[in-house]
Chain A
Amino acid sequence: MIFKISLYLSLIVFGLGLIFKISTWFRYNFEATTKPFTATERFSAAMGGIVATLFSGKVLTFLKSLLLDVFCQRRIMMESRLRWLMHMCLFWGFTLLLLMHALEGMLTSNLFEDYAATLNPFLFLRNFFALMVFVGIGIAIYRRFIQKIPRFFTNAMDRYALIILAVIMVSGIFLEAVKIGSFERYSQMVTDYADFDGEQEKKALEALWVEDFGVVSPNLTTPFEKELLIQGRELHEMNCAACHSRPQWAFIGYGVAVVLRPVALPLDRAGLVTLLWTIHFLACFIGLAYLPFSRMFHILATPLNLLANSVMEKGKSHPANLITLQMLALDACTHCGSCTSRCSLAVIFEEIPNPNILPSEKIASLKTLASGRALSEHQMTVIQEGLYLCTNCYRCTTVCPAGINLQELWFDVREAVLKRGYPELLVLTPFSMYRGLLSPTLAKADYHQAQKQPMIGIEAVCSALSNPDDPIKPAQMDRNFKKQMLSSAKGSTFSYCFTCITCTSACPVVRSYENPSEALGMTPHQIIRATALGVPDLAFRSRMLWYCLGCYQCQDACPQAVLVTDVLTELRNLAVVRMKNQSRRTGDRS
């Protein structure tokens, strides 16, 4: 009764969850304002794409990908042999258990006429597949909890996946072990299937099952007489052998049964078989019901993503399908950490503790963004920073075992987030080169808006002395700022400046304008002067500071050994700190 109710309940939850999750692939996107396609359009585009693929030459590519990527998991193999072993064990072990054991009523018993769960090869195979899963779980635990890999995070979802899998497997093995030793089960089976002629025969069979099959009997103890066992074996052949192989073939279950033997009788009387059976199927049903909402959903999403990737191409596939694929890709991420382990910038997480720097952790924020959940300005700027701190080196994409085109994902999300208009100072760094090279793929207005935004943000925050006609009063001097600059070995060299303007004359940026002061706000020597006067805002909001190429012509030309470029670098770092503090303060207020 409980079995049926929980089975149907979990199937309903699973089914609804599946529909909900799959619908998000068509409903969600990263654009906050403009939605290029409706969910219906995206759904029909996807169907059209699938049909078109099935009736084209691409079907071969598709099948090849199914064999190599899904069944052989070559992308994990390329990443690490140990992880490949782990995943193959988990994937094949669990899949085969599901097909042969969990679905025995539907599949195995129909395929094999004389199927019995306790008969070889099924008895042995069940344990063998279980062994595979245990090896997989073992490696996973080793990787996540014993091996100390920096910046490799294990989140609640990873722990849940491991725990539910472990509960299913351990309860299954113990169930088998307890059943092997169970005298109650034995008696039940004898009543149902055996045909005896008197007490002697009953005793003989029981003796054989105690001797050879691990049953723990309250009536009999070893050793038994030879004749009794011979008689028992004859009875066994007649009554039991058709459905029972030797339990030693269930090598894990039998091993546990041997260990449990001293306490087998009380456990049996306490009804442990029923209890373990309940735990086993409930764990399976909980796993099933929660599957669409957990990380285990990748069982479905990852193969789909790999297959879709094998036949889709940017520029050729329907644009609606590319958006849908990105949403599917978010579910295909297994949080395995390969991307982060190869990320060119992962190490800086130790200095800038923003988890969004790490590709494997970025995905979580992307899911939030895609769902359209409201985020505060501060939360958005944190995600935006993480998205921009990417050198676009392509390494994450090359290694992703789920075949997610992470590079493209980062780029598209970055653009979608930039459109929301929060100033991003990183736009003013060489991280923008990639964006610049890809600008023909972007709307012109959006591209330039994101370039202008940071200067507008800086001008709003660093606004002291914004009227050029106002005199600088001593009270406006920022003593802390000056102290900070003077305490730095390189930064302090500003104090040697006697304003000879050599730096400004040497600067190729200055030379690019007919009226540099108008275009740049200040020229290099004026920035050095503003530093000496202790008015950082003047320097911070000067375009020159942000347009410095870092080519060191000024520094090499300076007759006073002012490290002009290095001073500018320090000023920019201070400006970034100032802007970040401001954003944090507004974040706290809201």
Chain B
Amino acid sequence: MKLALQRCCTTPIFLKQYETSTNAVLGRLGVQLTDNALNCCGYPLKNYDYKAYLLASARNLSIAEKKKIDIMTFCNCCYGTLKEVDQRLREDRILCAEINGKLEQEALKYEGNVKIQHIMEVFYHELGPDRIKKHIVHKFKGLKIAVHYGCHILRPRELVQFARPGTAAVFDELVAMTGADLVPWHLQSECCGSPLWGIDDDLSAALTRKKIENARASGADYFCLACSYCQVQLDRVQKRLLDEGRITDPMPSILFTQLLGLSMGIDSAVLGIGENQIDISPILECLD
């Protein structure tokens, strides 16, 4: 199976391991990711120039449409953006015609025939738990995971309602397949605080700290997540807060692709385990 990867602009500098671990895991499961020179999804433009926001995603969707390939994202913000733009252009024909007018000079046209999937959907719906189970060679023992869903795979409900059988449950089930124990905690579907980093760092840090404390109190050892913005916040920004003494009891965060990769027996160097800012290498000791 081939899918076009909607890269997240944060990954090339801050999160290379997300791309390498995604390629390694999906490669082993028979999914090939192609680089179709897609641009930024437009997410940071949403509150500045909504039409520019639409155009950015519409271009990506129309490129995929031309190449007859579906799009996969590994970032919740990219996912939410592509989904929203897709829905908006389907509903609003006048807007769609206007956007297509701008795409015309590149011989592109949005017609709404591209499936947009989050990487967790690809794992669960395209590949399926049974197929993944066959590749799992190690199980985690006594590893307590606080699953961090992130916002835009859950909300807004009417947009990302892949309630077959509910994203949160999908995420939980996939994590459980690696043998990890899931810890319930009540802030698990709240925002990580990343959208405000660089705008009001204190507020952003307060949101992050609250999540860390809550997950810590629930007895978890690690966050597990599948969004580049959340990971930058819960790893890189958390490390900064730790260095500045603004938190004392850190909660390291592992990407789902790294977690699954380890249980599939993929080399930890390929998964970039050592590239996380807050050390996650002790997790290797939990592997059987």
Contact = CB atoms under 8 A, between A and B. Distances in A.
B9 interface: yes
A433 B45 contact: no
A378 interface: no
B49 interface: yes
A437 B196 contact: no
Contacts of A398: 12
A375 interface: no
A393 B6 CA distance: 13
A552 B198 contact: no
Interface string A395-433: 100100000000000000000000000000111111111
Interface string B188-206: 0011011111111101101
Interface string A144-180: 0000101000000000000000000000000000000
A197 interface: no
Given A347-B59, A451-B199, A429 B156 contact: no
B155 A342 contact: no
Interface in A168-211: none
A572 B47 contact: yes
B168 interface: no
Contact of A552 (B10, B106, B155, B200): B155
B9 A572 contact: no
A461 B236 CA distance: 37
A148 B156 contact: no
Contacts of B9: 344, 391-393
Interface stretch (A134-142, A234-242, A543-551): A543-551
Interface in B249-278: none
Contacts of A345: 39-40, 56
B190 to A, nearest CB: 6
Nearest to B8: A393
B50 interface: yes
Interface in A210-247: none
B39 to A, nearest CB: 5
A555 B155 contact: yes
Contacts of B50: 569-570, 573
Contacts of A394: 12-13
B155 A437 contact: no
A512 B199 contact: no
A176 to B, nearest CB: 43
| Highest count of chain B CB atoms <10 Å: which of A398, A512, A576 | A512
A225 to B, nearest CB: 65
B193 to A, nearest CB: 8
B156 A508 contact: no
A150 B103 CA distance: 10
Contacts of A435: 198
Nearest to B157: A556
A352 B49 contact: yes
Given A551-B155, A551-B190, A556-B157, A509 B203 contact: yes
B207 interface: yes
Nearest to A568: B47
Contacts of A436: 197-199, 201, 204
A428 B210 CA distance: 22
Interface residues of B, number: 55
A352 B55 CA distance: 11
B200 A347 contact: no
B246 interface: no
B156 A565 contact: yes
Give the interface size class of chain A: 35 or more
Interface string A332-367: 000000000011111110111000000000000000
B48 A425 contact: yes
A489 interface: yes
B85 to A, nearest CB: 13
Given A347-B59, A391-B44, A572-B48, A433 B156 contact: no
A147 to B, nearest CB: 13
A560 interface: no
A555 B50 CA distance: 19
B227 to A, nearest CB: 12
Contacts of A489: 91-92
B14 interface: yes
Interface in B217-257: 229, 232, 236-237, 240
Given A348-B56, A351-B55, A437-B14, A432 B156 contact: no
B37 interface: yes
A426 B44 CA distance: 9
Nearest to A566: B156
Interface in A54-102: none
A489 to B, nearest CB: 7
A573 B50 CA distance: 7
A26 to B, nearest CB: 30
A157 B232 CA distance: 42
> Quick one: which of A391, A395, A430, A572 has the most chain B CB within 10 A?
A430
A346 B39 contact: yes
Contact of B198 (A150, A434, A547, A573): A434
A395 B47 contact: no
A348 B191 contact: no
Given A343-B39, A351-B52, A430-B43, A395 B156 contact: no
B197 A433 contact: yes
A118 interface: no
A391 B44 CA distance: 8
A550 B48 contact: no
A248 interface: no
Interface in B21-49: 37, 39-40, 42-49
Interface in A525-561: 546-553, 555-556
Nearest to B51: A351
Contact of A392 (B13, B102, B190): B13
B198 A437 contact: yes
Contacts of B201: 436, 439
Nearest to B59: A347
A512 B157 CA distance: 24
A342 B37 contact: yes
A9 to B, nearest CB: 46
A587 to B, nearest CB: 19
Contact of B49 (A343, A348, A451, A547): A348
A428 B195 CA distance: 9
A429 B194 CA distance: 11
Contacts of B49: 348, 351-352, 573, 576
A348 B92 contact: no
Nearest to A507: B191
B191 A569 contact: no
B45 A348 contact: yes
Which of A393, A427, A428, A439 neighbours the largest number of chain B CB atoms within 10 Å of its CB?
A393
Interface centre among B91, B157, B203, B204 (most CB of A within 10 A): B203
Nearest to A342: B37
Interface string B141-164: 000000000011001110000000
B98 to A, nearest CB: 10
A459 to B, nearest CB: 16
Given A345-B56, A436-B198, A553-B155, A150 B106 contact: yes
Point out which of B13, B105, B190 has the most chain A C-beta atoms below 10 A from its C-beta: B13
Contacts of B229: 430, 433
Contacts of B44: 391, 429-431
A322 B88 CA distance: 46
A433 B12 contact: no
11 contacts: A344-B9, A350-B55, A351-B52, A391-B9, A429-B45, A431-B44, A437-B237, A551-B191, A553-B190, A556-B156, A573-B50
Given A346-B39, A348-B52, 16 more contacts: A345-B56, A352-B52, A392-B9, A392-B13, A393-B40, A427-B198, A430-B44, A436-B199, A451-B199, A489-B91, A547-B199, A547-B200, A549-B151, A552-B151, A555-B156, A573-B50
User: What are the 3 tightest A-B residue pairs by CB atom distance, in nearest-first order?
Assistant: A436-B198, A432-B198, A552-B155
